[in-house]
Amino acid sequence: MTTKINKATRHTSQNEGLIFEKSSPGKRAFELPPLDVPIVDANALLGAHHRHDGVEHFPEVSEIEVLRHFTRLSTWNYAIDLGMYPLGSCTMKYNPRVNEFVARLEGLATEHPYQPQELSQGCLKVLRLLERCLLEITGMDAITLQPAAGAQGELTGLLLIRAYLEKQGNARKKVLIPDSAHGTNPATAVIAGYEVENIKSESHGQIDVDKLRDLVTENVAALMITNPSTLGIFEQRIPEIAEILHAKGALLYMDGANMNALTGITRPGDFGVDVMHLNLHKTFSTPHGGGGPGTGPVAMKKFLEPFRPVPVLVEKEGGRLALDSNRADSIGRVKAFVGNFGLLVRALAYILAYGPGVRQATEDAVINANYIRKNLEGVFDLPYELPSMHEVVFSDAIQKKNGVNTMDIAKRLIDYGFHPYTTAFPLIVPGALMIEPTESESKEECDLFIEAMRAIAQEAAENPALVKSAPHTTRVRRLDEVGAARKPILRWKPTDKPEGRLHHAHKTPHPEPTPTV
């Protein structure tokens, strides 16, 4: 079988070892000028145990070696500047360069959180404007910008619920979580001190409302719902769900990580949500991945406002803004200062750049997902057929008949020049292929992705060994993932041998066929 790959071809990719292996004693990338201040006794000033003459095994290399080393390594990376990230649930959209420009403006990038509030009025106005924008988008009454990411936002939201219920005299014991919710939700509920009860989805992938009605008792504090769910499906009976909860004194928490499907079209506060978090590093285009930084503001209805984390941004006489920490019912601090300020600036830049056009971004994201869905239906199994929102979830059921699973397909997709989609999640779909193109991608890029996926499906039917042993064009072949997880090698030691150091990464479980590219 001859495969035509339109997006990626083999190209020069230079080998590169560790920078430690290039080190030679005495090499320098630069020379510091002689000291022009009196030399002090560092041992006397700092104490001998606080001072080092040097860093053991620190690499000694020339400037050109440093430049070439990191430039070569950069060519190994995949980035949004090269192509789409179809990672479902993650919303890996393009981060506009204007966001970065604004975040680097003097007076924003150079301000310090400990400076007097009288000198920080410009920064505080940025926060206040972002608060107003997010409240308008969500339909809520109050917000905190402190949480550092979505999971911390979830925890903050549940702590608000707990504080409110405790104030009523009963914190309750249980949180209900659908099987189509984000995976962090159960862990968050446990950390907040609650028991978790799972709710199975009905045959169409939505919450079983009749089952929910039976489960909601005076012992239930809240339902944590992801809407749209991890299946990419909007929970159509959400107002009814809210009524069921409120009738029993329970609250509705919404995981807002999928707001890229709702922004500018509908507001959670209008359909009964009491508290929710937003992932600014998803919906509002701030940098994403690599363990942070992130931002997970929490918006809430008025009755939860007294419990907001401190400090709270307030307006004083004459329009002066201040951070108020004197809040008797507050749950306390959840983050140093007021949150990840640089990312909050970027999110505001994104919102102001779009203005009312933020609705168009949402519509484009939904159109892209449905365009991919329509062109891959029948090629890959579609377990749930309700309308898709910003992402679509297929399964590997068709390819499994030839021994090819979702991970194999994802690895082969790398050969076609794409970052893999999200594999094996949500767990409600065995062998899931979770695809989210976002609004960033053009029809041309979506078409290239569709062609690649259709070609891989054909390969899986005609030459499954080719797919099962992919990727074939990468620097490192398929990892020994079990070995890498259980015995990771995370740091270099001077006694390591190169062949031993990369053992886990270079294991190849299948003989390599010769694909025609």
What are 447's two structure tokens? 């078409």
Sign of CA dihedral 359, 362, 368, 374: negative
Q: How far is 200 from 428, CA to CA, in rounded Å?
A: 9
In order of their start, the domains of the chain are 19-74 (no CATH), 101-355 (3.40.640.10)
Sheet containing 174-178, strands listed edge to edge, beginning at the edge strand earlier in sequence: 142-144, 298-300, 275-278, 251-256, 220-226, 174-178, 195-199
What are 429's two structure tokens? 């779909």
pTM for this model (two decimals) = 0.88
H-helix or E-strand containing 393?
A: strand 392-395
Question: Is the pLDDT assigned to residue 339 strictly greater than 70?
Answer: yes
Mean pLDDT of the residues in the chain: 91
- Per the CB < 8 A criterion, the answer to whether 213 and 184 are in contact is no
Q: In the chain, how long is the greatest CA-to-CA distance? A: 79
Amino acid residing at 43: N
CA distances from 173 to 165, 170, 213 (A): 11, 9, 17
pLDDT at 290: 59
Bigger pLDDT: 494 vs 81: 81
Question: For the segment 373-431, what is each residue's pLDDT rounded down to a tens digit?
Answer: 999 999 999 999 999 999 999 999 999 999 999 999 999 999 999 999 999 999 999 99
Q: How far is 483 from 402, CA to CA, in rounded Å?
A: 26
Q: What does the DSSP assignment read for 453-500?
A: HHHHHHHHHH-HHHHHT---SSSS----HHHHHHS---S--TT--HHH
Q: How confident is the model at residue 370 (pLDDT cuts 50, 70, 90)?
A: very high
Bigger pLDDT: 53 vs 2: 53
Give the total residue count for the chain.
517
DSSP character at residue 323: E
Q: How confident is the model at residue 505 (pLDDT cuts 50, 70, 90)?
A: very low
Q: How confident is the model at residue 53 (pLDDT cuts 50, 70, 90)?
A: confident
Question: For the segment 261-294, what is each residue's pLDDT rounded down to a tens digit?
Answer: 999 999 999 999 999 999 999 999 988 765 567 8
